[in-house]
Chains A and B, each alone.
Chain A
Amino acid sequence: GQNIDQPTEMTATEGAIVQINCTYQTSGFNGLFWYQQHAGEAPTFLSYNVLDGLEEKGRFSSFLSRSKGYSYLLLKELQMKDSASYLCAVFDSNYQLIWGAGTKLIIKP
C-alpha cells in the first residue's frame, strides 16, 4: 500500500527553528509537495521537490532524499503566524497525489 508518515504534532518557540519530517512509501515517485494549512482554511502551496537536495525559499526550506524516501520542511525564525498544519504529499507513478495526515505545528511565545 501507499503510505506517508509525518508526526502528528510539534511544538516550537517563536524565533527558533523547527524541522518537520516526512517519510513515504509509494508506488513510484514523481515529486513531493509541502502545503501549509491554517485552521479552517484550505491548503496553500509551499514547495515542490523532485530531485535530491535542499530547496530554499526565504524562511522555509525543503529537503528530499529519494533513496531514503524522506523529506523535511525546515522553518527558520519562527513567527506566531507559522502556527498551522503542514501537509506532505507525494505524486506516485500515475501522478496521483498521496496525502499525509499533516503535522500540526504549535508556536509558543
Chain B
Amino acid sequence: GAVVSQHPSRVICKSGTSVKIECRSLDFQATTMFWYRQFPKQSLMLMATSNEGSKATYEQGVEKDKFLINHASLTLSTLTVTSAHPEDSSFYICSARPLRIGLAGAGPRETQYFGPGTRLLVL
C-alpha cells in the first residue's frame, strides 16, 4: 500500500519551454500533496503544499507564477514549471499524505509517501 507514482521520471527540455509533472497516489486518496525540490547532495526543499480543490500554499521564495500547481482530485496533483531555465534543473519529488489511516505497512496518518521523483534538465 501507499504507492505514489510520478510521470515523467526524466525530462530534458529547451530553455523557455514549460514542463508538466504528474503525481498520483495509486492505492489511496490523499488529502494533501507536497512538492519538493532537491539539488545534488542537499536535503529536500519544500516548494508548496496543495490540498484538493484549493489553491496551493507556496514556501517563501518559490514563485507561484513559475511553478503552477493544480490539485484536481484526491489522487492527482500536477506541477508545471513554466518558462524553464537551466537553473530550474533539479530533482522534483512529490509526496502524498493519506486521507485515512490503516494502509498496509504504513506509518501514522501524518506520514508522507513519496513518488519516485522527476529529474529535470533544462538546456
Contacts and interface: CB of A to CB of B under 8 A. Distances in A.
Interface of A: 30-31, 33, 35, 40-45, 47-48, 50, 87, 91, 95, 97, 99-102
Contact of B115 (A40, A42, A50, A99): A42
B31 to A, nearest CB: 12
A101 B42 contact: yes
Contact of B114 (A30, A42, A91, A95): A42
The binding surface of chain B is classed by DSSP as loop
A79 B116 CA distance: 23
A42 B116 contact: yes
B9 to A, nearest CB: 10
A31 to B, nearest CB: 6
B107 A48 contact: yes
Interface of B: 2, 42-44, 46, 91, 93, 95, 106-108, 110-117, 119
Contacts of A87: 43-44
Interface centre among A42, A47, A87, A97 (most CB of B within 10 A): A42
A84 to B, nearest CB: 13
Contacts of A40: 91, 117, 119
B107 A45 contact: yes
B122 to A, nearest CB: 18
Nearest to A35: B114
Given A100-B43, A101-B43, A41 B108 contact: no
Contacts of A50: 108
B111 A45 contact: yes
Contacts of A30: 110
